[in-house]
Amino acid sequence: MSAAKFIAHTDVPAWLAELAASMRVIAPVTEGGNVLYREFDSATNGVELNRKPTESAKHVLFPRSEALFTFRKEPVPFAPDSLDPATEEDSPAPRMTLTQPEAPKPTVVFGMLCCDAGGVTTFDPVYGGRYQDPYYLQKREATVLIAKACNEPLKTCFCTWVGSDPANKRDADILATDFGNGLYLEALTERAERVLGSKLLQDAPANAEAKAEALHAAAREAIGEVPSLEGIDNTLTTLFDERDFWWSHSAPCLACGICTNLCPTCHCFTITDEKASGAGVRLRSWDTCMAALYTLEASGHNPRGQKAARLRNRVGHKFSYFLKNNNGRISCQGCGRCIKSCPSSVDIRRIVLDAMKKGCAVKEAANG
Amino acid sequence: MAKAASPKNGPSRKATAVSIESHAADVKKVADSAPAAPATSPASPASPPSGGPEAHGAIPVLTPGAHNPYLPYVATVREVIKETHNIMTFRVTLDDEEVWNSFHFEPGQVGQLSLFGAGEATFVINSPPTRMDYLQFSVMRAGEVTAALHGLRAGDKVGVRAPLGNHFPYNDMKGKDIVLIGGGIGMAPIRTLLYYLLDNRKDYGTITLLYGARSPQDMAYSYELPDWLSREDLDCVLTIDREAEGWEHRVGLIPNVLLEMNPSPKNAVAVCCGPPIMIKFTMEALAKLNFAPEQVITTLERRMKCGIGICGRCNIGEKYVCVDGPVFTSAELKALPNEL
């Protein structure tokens, strides 16, 4: 792994432009009132590193909608004889051709949040577990993640509660720390090499490591007290049938799905076909478990027809089911977007803390 | 309920050419190399990433030539049978001869049957692996995809992603008396198991089949019933919900008829498939007959998209019906969150 590097803020656009010559460069940019991860445009150079992105970066590896393959039915040449039933056996058989999409381009995501990088590593066991998902894994292999350590957490941030950190070195390929005049770049994986060859990068200043550590500690401190979520997985299992608990927490929910849309770890999708005159495409697109249609079966049966059941599943998945399948890792990254953007102030922190409190009470009642 | 077989089915039909083009992975190889790659051997990376702090560097890399689990095999409909007013059966063969010749599945496994342009839906393969002339799917018209599938005719192209999911524990059932209970379209998975057991008859004790439907007209596989009723190695009981003219068999709901039949739980296994409400009450009846939860097997139905445990919608707690199921024992279901 290469030594740590430093790049002046004024050189960042030139560096990204350099990378953009051979890679797809994704960076946070201001668009209207939002900060979105978009393809870097060297004409505008508008990288936004001070405000937190409104959306997660998951769409880089898991597009909102992507083609799994296209299909085309080859027309059977018209032959008047084939209209005669006697010769039907000999008529040319139709063909169906399936074509898979092109391999993804080499990509770099610059300036993503550590919680967004954490989202990616929660995707890894999902898309590369029992079955290998080629669409995700090819993009993953082709993509370098440059995370930027969080200097000023928001009031909705709680990454330290869920086993992450505003400057975690677990998830990205490079960790960038903002020194005010530029970015201190620490390579974390072999993949980092792909983007650290530029002459614009300087050697890191002598005291950089300690300086970065101090900034990281300050951000950690700013998030404040970290409540224990020890045993949250089993606690939620205990509360599964507590109807009142789930009804009261889900009462304000409008089932709009913005929580799942902005979440860096929500990975659910649907598969649909689109077709016009014999040719078409099979698409996979983001879906949301907060919608009743998500689990509605053709028979009319719906195992999660009520929003209480859907909220229970979303919280349960992140704080219980995922843990059981992934060595105790909480899939929620604590980015707080679902809290910040919820139109009716559903707060996943409140649900989880209430569950911890309520779970203790239920267990005590059961024990005696 | 006539068997409306097409005249142009059968092995004599020319194999149709299918080409899989790709600019991405080595897909031609993919399509060729996948006898049972999609499901029977859930591609197990050497070290599945835990996602934990140590996960770095353990990101699974695609195995060259590994099957793309989203890419269906192109298949041809060989025969269409109109079973009831809302159930049709399709017999299909895979177009790629090499894949088809090495295709293997286990009784109870499901497949995603798709009509290109309409979409995919999950159905059990209801022909047994002991009879590989075709793969049979029975489709009840209920939504958009099933309505589109009902328009299929012999010779049409479909997509098949199979086999998916787990299967009936036919090895554990060896030497035991078997009670099969199928309600409505739930007879489809039971049919697979029934033929599998009959084709391996000496491995099993007595075989009892209770098959119920709303009315005689709602009974799929009606053309096979005379054989089932006359076989000496099978005790077949048919029932309908209400009296109907000309009906010579039982009348009554499945759980009640089952209680009347009073099968012994001793060294027995019961397998029950049908609509959720029928499963619920049949399980209760089996409990009354002293069948232990471990002796009762059922299949669950969920809305599914990917079929490989990724898209998220078929979970019950941490289990995914598409990969951990659809076959569960009653004991396994009791351990899951109450979200059936």
- Chain B contact set for A240 (CB, 8 A): 337-339
- Give the CA-trace dihedral at A73, A79, A85, A91, to 10 degrees: -50
| Interchain contact B317–A (C-beta under 8 A) | yes
What are the pLDDT digits (tens) for B260-314? Answer: 999 999 999 999 999 989 999 999 999 999 999 999 999 998 899 999 999 999 9
| Interchain contact B275–A (C-beta under 8 A) | yes
| Interchain contact B230–A (C-beta under 8 A) | no
Alpha helices in chain B (DSSP H): 27-32, 97-102, 144-149, 187-199, 225-230, 254-261, 276-288, 321-324, 330-334
- Chain A contact set for B323 (CB, 8 A): 130-131
Residues 6+ apart with CB under 8 A from A239: A245, A246, A355, A358, A359, A362
Of B24, B70, B157, nearest to A73 by CB-CB distance is: B157
Closest CA in chain A for residue B60: A128
| Interchain contact B17–A (C-beta under 8 A) | yes
How far is the alpha carbon of B291 from chain A, nearest alpha carbon, in Å?
26
How far is the alpha carbon of A327 from chain B, nearest alpha carbon, in Å?
6
Output the pLDDT for position B137. 98
Of B27, B55, B313, nearest to A124 by CB-CB distance is: B55
> Has residue B65 got a pLDDT over 70?
no
How far is the alpha carbon of B63 from chain A, nearest alpha carbon, in Å?
9
Q: Which stretch of B48-52, B130-134, B305-309 has the lowest confidence by average pLDDT?
A: B48-52
Residues 75..94 of A with a Cβ closer than 8 Å to B: which?
A: 88-89, 93-94
pTM, two decimal places: 0.86
Closest CA in chain B for residue A286: B311
Euclidean distance between CA atoms A212 and A199, whole angstroms: 23
Q: What is the 3-state secondary structure (H, E, C) of A117-182?
A: HHHHHHHHHHHECCCECHHHHHHHHHEEEEEECCCCCCCCCCHHHHCCCCCCCCCCCEEEEECCCE
How far is the alpha carbon of A300 from chain B, nearest alpha carbon, in Å?
9
- Chain A contact set for B313 (CB, 8 A): 268, 287, 289, 294-295
Instruction: Name the more confident of A81 and B108.
Output: B108
- Chain B contact set for A308 (CB, 8 A): none
Residues 6+ apart with CB under 8 A from B232: none
Residues β-bridged to residue B91: B79, B136
Parse chain B into domains and list their residue ranges: 69-164, 177-299
| Interchain contact A306–B (C-beta under 8 A) | no
- Give the CA-trace dihedral at B226, B230, B231, B235, to 10 degrees: 100
Q: For residue B190, give the 3-state DSSP assignment.
A: helix
Output the pLDDT for position B13. 35
CB pairs under 8 A between A and B: 234
Output the pLDDT for position B301. 87
For an interface test with B, the pick among A271, A307, A332 (most B C-beta atoms closer than 10 Å) comes out as A271
Task: Say which CATH topology domain B69-164 has.
Answer: Elongation Factor Tu (Ef-tu); domain 3 (2.40.30)
Q: For residue B21, give the 3-state DSSP assignment.
A: strand
Of A96, A125, A313, nearest to B157 by CB-CB distance is: A96
What are the pLDDT digits (tens) for B198-246? Answer: 999 999 999 999 999 999 999 999 999 999 999 999 999 999 999 999 9
B70–A282 CB contact, under 8 Å = yes
Average pLDDT, chain B: 84
How far is the alpha carbon of A27 from chain B, nearest alpha carbon, in Å?
23
Euclidean distance between CA atoms A279 and A283, whole angstroms: 13
B59–A88 CB contact, under 8 Å = no
Angle between helices B276-288 and B254-261 (to 10 degrees): 20
| Interchain contact B334–A (C-beta under 8 A) | no
Residues 6+ apart with CB under 8 A from A150: A52, A113, A114, A115, A157, A159, A166, A167, A219
B51–A122 CB contact, under 8 Å = yes
Of B8, B312, B317, nearest to A289 by CB-CB distance is: B312
Range B177-299 classified under CATH 3.40.50.80: yes
A327–B51 CB contact, under 8 Å = yes
Instruction: Name the more confident of A165 and B1.
Output: A165
Of A130, A132, A269, nearest to B62 by CB-CB distance is: A132
Parse chain A into domains and list their residue ranges: 5-67+101-223, 232-367
The ipTM assigned to this model is 0.88
* Residue given tokens 């992603």 in the structure block: B161
Euclidean distance between CA atoms B191 and B125, whole angstroms: 9
Q: Which stretch of A155-164, A229-238, B58-67, B184-193 has the lowest confidence by average pLDDT?
A: B58-67
Which residues in A273-294 are b (16+ Cβ under 10 Å) and which e? bebeeeebbbbbebbbbbbeeb
Residues 13..32 of A with a Cβ closer than 8 Å to B: which?
A: none
Closest CA in chain A for residue B19: A97
Output the pLDDT for position A22. 94
- Chain B contact set for A327 (CB, 8 A): 50-52
How far is the alpha carbon of A341 from chain B, nearest alpha carbon, in Å?
23
Of A89, A296, A326, nearest to B51 by CB-CB distance is: A326
How far is the alpha carbon of B8 from chain A, nearest alpha carbon, in Å?
7
Instruction: Render each residue's pLDDT in chain A as its tens digit; 368 residues.
Output: 457 999 999 999 999 999 999 999 999 999 988 999 999 987 776 899 989 999 999 999 999 999 999 999 887 766 666 555 555 555 566 788 999 999 999 999 999 999 999 999 999 999 998 899 999 999 999 999 999 999 889 999 999 999 999 999 999 999 999 999 999 999 999 999 999 999 999 999 989 999 999 999 999 999 989 999 999 999 999 999 999 999 999 999 999 999 999 999 999 999 999 998 778 999 999 999 999 999 998 888 899 999 999 999 999 999 999 999 999 999 999 999 999 999 999 999 999 999 999 887 777 777 76
> Has residue B12 got a pLDDT over 70?
no
Output the pLDDT for position A299. 80
B42–A320 CB contact, under 8 Å = no
